[in-house]
Amino acid sequence: MKDKLVIGNWKMNKNFEEAEELLEDIAEALEDWVLRSTVVLCPPFPYLEMATDYADESGHFACGAQNCAEFEDGAYTGEVSAKMLHDVGVQFCIVGHSERRKYFGESSENLSKKVNLLLENDIIPVFCCGELQNEREHGKQFDVVSAQIKEALFHLTAEQFEHVVIAYEPVWAIGTGLTASPKQAEEMHAFIRTLAEKQYGTEIAYNLHILYGGSCNAQNALELFMQPNVDGGLIGGASLKANDFLAIIEAAETVGKEE
Ligand code: PGA
């Protein structure tokens, strides 16, 4: 099995000093580790350049953004382009987080443009998908996730799709303390892998990283990461404290070593 990928999504949290402290704590702790997993930190835009400096110096983690513009450049006040992110050393970018879909009205059409621009700029899109509570209650979770993936990603060529990460984040589990059970996560991850296989073939589907996100924490990470189709996590709240995030990385490392 491939190595795990653990991504911290800081969302709109931390002041400058706190951000620096968290970067420092994580960089310092990881100094002694021989990591198999890939660790990525996604702070807010204003801290990205500082974060990529820390990442370069540490060599133990990479940096990601939480969003990018769907346009290449130009008169789009307030937007940040994929090229700008690339220029400051960003290697990953979250796309289509449910909070962006909900509060900023992002549609599959917007997301597919963002994915294209990120790939053109050598940034790995971390594409988020997941159903709402009532969609699960009505047994629609597979239809919803399948539509989200097909609409935003399946226009890509196989060569492009190889550089995409998918994060399954059931919306009812994000920031709520409710986690999908390992069985629910595994079931959806296996479904996503089969979708990818049908479109892009066995090898690309096998190599695809499918992350779980939604109240993943130091207590439940190991059991989630032990599921055969769970290739790591997209961590929100628990990535804001160095010790919690490090414990999650440790869980990823533990599973990685057992394989
Ligand atoms: P959470 O957030 O871990 O706080 O539930 C995950 C996410 O939104 O990416």
Over range 186-203, report the average pLDDT.
98
Q: Which of 69, 47, 84, 64 is nearest to 116 (CA)?
A: 69
Pocket mutation for ligand 1, best pick of 5, 6, 9, 127 (most atoms within 8 Å of C-beta): 9
Predicted local distance difference test score (pLDDT) of residue 176? 87
Predicted local distance difference test score (pLDDT) of residue 32? 86
- The answer for 63, left when phi > 0, alpha when psi is -120 to 50, beta otherwise, is beta
CA-CA distance, 15 to 51, in Å (whole number)?
Answer: 13
Task: List the CATH number of the domain containing 250.
Answer: 3.20.20.70
| Rounded percentage of the chain residues whose pLDDT exceeds 90 | 94
Predicted local distance difference test score (pLDDT) of residue 106? 97
Q: Which of 60, 86, 97, 209 is catalytic?
A: 97
pLDDT digit string, tens, across residues 65-75 = 999 999 999 99
Over range 147-163, report the average pLDDT.
98
- What pTM was estimated for this model as a whole? 0.97
Are the C-beta atoms of residues 46 and 11 closer than 8 Å to each other?
A: no
Beta strands in the chain (DSSP E): 5-9, 38-42, 62-65, 92-95, 124-129, 165-168, 210-213, 232-235
Predicted local distance difference test score (pLDDT) of residue 257? 67
Mean pLDDT of the chain: 96
Predicted local distance difference test score (pLDDT) of residue 178? 85
Nearest residue (CA) to ligand 1, atom 1: 236
Is the predicted pLDDT of residue 158 greater than 70, yes or no?
yes
Nearest residue (CA) to ligand 1, atom 7: 236
Is the predicted pLDDT of residue 63 greater than 60, yes or no?
yes
Of ligand 1's listed atoms, the one at least distance from the Cα of 217 is: 3
pLDDT confidence band for 258 (50 / 70 / 90): low
Any catalytic annotation for residue 169?
A: yes
Predicted local distance difference test score (pLDDT) of residue 46? 98
The Å distance, Cα 212 to ligand 1 centre, comes to 10
pLDDT digit string, tens, across residues 90-119 = 999 999 999 999 999 999 999 999 999 999
pLDDT confidence band for 87 (50 / 70 / 90): very high
Ligand 1, CB within 6 Å, residue ranges:
9, 169, 174-175, 213-216, 234-238
CA-CA distance, 256 to 2, in Å (whole number)?
Answer: 8
Of ligand 1's listed atoms, the one at least distance from the Cα of 99 is: 8
> What is the count of structural domains for the chain?
1
Q: Which domain holds residue 94?
A: 5-258
Any catalytic annotation for residue 17?
A: no
Are the C-beta atoms of residues 227 and 184 closer than 8 Å to each other?
A: no
